[in-house]
Amino acid sequence: MVTAETKERYNKLRTILKDMGSVVIGFSGGVDSTFLSYTAHDVLHDKALAVTAVSPTLPHSEEEDAVSMAKQIGIHHLVVHSTEFDDEEFVKNPMDRCYICKKIRFSALVELAKQQHYQWVIDGGNVDDLGDFRPGMKALEELSDAVRSPMIEAGLTKADIRALSKELGLRTWDKQSAACLASRVPYGVELTPERLHMVDEAESVIAPYIKGSLRVRYHGDIARIEVGEDELPVILEHRQEIVQKLRQCGFVYVTLDLGGYEMGSLNEVIDTNEAK
């Protein structure tokens, strides 16, 4: 249900976008960037451009979703190749890898916006993102003379965005969160396209069996499956075929995390290290 407060925030977003004049949107095809792209296109028409950055960190299904959603919205859409794997520090997979990646990607978007005469680059951050461990936000702050987060400026929460998306008929309104594939690899373990491809293939194998959230965490030869607690019996029911297919993806051992799915579970090491 869309409340009066949510409508007020939405109207504020529309005003902010109108005042911006023209925008380039970092577009992943997820809940937030789809809603933002829809609204920007509705307000600015051909003065809004959605750009999807493709690299080994992006699940193939997410690239397909982005292309499909851009067509549904009707917004002008570009797919570009991102270069974070050319950066040695990013490949080392430090705790601030999201900062490195976001700085590279949004710096490229700023250059594109300048070349094509768009006034602003915008990202799909919402108010809820401010309370999480998101080093990528620092990159946006450093580019604040050219990059803005209009949904944060408007005070929109994730719940607001889902409610508004449903009312507007966007099929992403109940889409599960889909972080980049690098988030499946523990900090300090080198990121390679091959490792991320293994994870992407493994998640594609398991996805048809479940309805909710899914992560396959990479631990060398071990694949650690995270699904919602209510989905655990389904994985166990199909464990033989899942194990067989994940071994074909390159894993030797397949484990099921009995703790269930937890967003950002690999960030637990941060709290552990700080406690020492």
Contact between 109 and 82 (Cβ < 8 Å):
no
> Confidence class of residue 275 from pLDDT cuts 50, 70 and 90?
very low
What is residue 274's predicted lDDT score, i.e. its pLDDT?
A: 45
Residues 52, 168: one domain?
yes
Residues 165, 248: one domain?
no
pLDDT in tens, 1-19: 899 999 999 999 999 999 9
Higher-pLDDT residue of 130, 247: 247
Residues 163, 217: one domain?
no
Residues 219, 142: one domain?
no
- State the Cα–Cα distance between residues 125 and 229, nearest whole angstrom: 28
Mean pLDDT to the nearest integer, 117-135: 87
What is residue 157's predicted lDDT score, i.e. its pLDDT?
A: 97
**Residue 218 has which token pair?**
């990479």
Instruction: Mark which of 146, 174, 202 sits at the end of a domain.
Output: 174
pLDDT in tens, 187-228: 999 999 999 999 999 999 999 999 989 999 999 999 999 999
Contact between 54 and 63 (Cβ < 8 Å):
yes
What is residue 133's predicted lDDT score, i.e. its pLDDT?
A: 61
Residues 78, 210: one domain?
no
Residues spanned by the domain of 82: 4-174
**Residue 208 has which token pair?**
């048809």
* pLDDT at residue 88 greater than cutoff 90: yes
Virtual torsion, Cα 123, 21, 52, 140, nearest 10 deg: -30
* pLDDT at residue 99 greater than cutoff 60: yes
Least confident of 19-28, 41-50, 57-66, 157-166: 57-66
> Confidence class of residue 137 from pLDDT cuts 50, 70 and 90?
confident
Q: Residue 266's domain is classified under what CATH number?
A: 3.30.300
pTM of this prediction exceeds 0.75: yes
The whole-chain average pLDDT of the chain stands at 93
Residues 35, 134: one domain?
yes
What is residue 46's predicted lDDT score, i.e. its pLDDT?
A: 97
- With b for 16 or more beta-carbon neighbours within 10 A and e for fewer, the 59-68 pattern comes to beebbebbee
* pLDDT at residue 58 greater than cutoff 90: yes
For the chain, the maximum distance between any two Cα atoms, rounded to a whole number of angstroms, is 56
- State the Cα–Cα distance between residues 102 and 135, nearest whole angstrom: 9
Residue 27 burial (C-beta neighbours within 10 Å; 0-12, 13-18, 19+): buried
pLDDT cut 90: percent of the chain above it: 86
Residues 158, 190: one domain?
no
